[in-house]
Amino acid sequence: MSRCAYCGERAGFWSRMCADCKKLMACVQELRGRVGYGEFLDGLERTGVAKEKIMAFLKADPDGSGSIQDQVTAEMTTELMKVMGISGRQTAEEVKRIRDTAAKDSK
What range does the domain containing 41 cover? 2-105
Residue 23 to residue 93: CA distance in whole angstroms: 25
pLDDT at 85: 92
Prediction pTM value? 0.82
Q: Residue ranges of the chain with pLDDT lower than 70?
A: 1, 107
Q: How many structural domains are present in the chain? A: 1
Q: Say if CB 56 and CB 31 are below 8 A apart.
A: no
> In three state form, how does the secondary structure of 36-72 look?
CHHHHHHHHHCCCCCHHHHHHHHHCCCCCCCCHHHHH
pLDDT at 11: 84
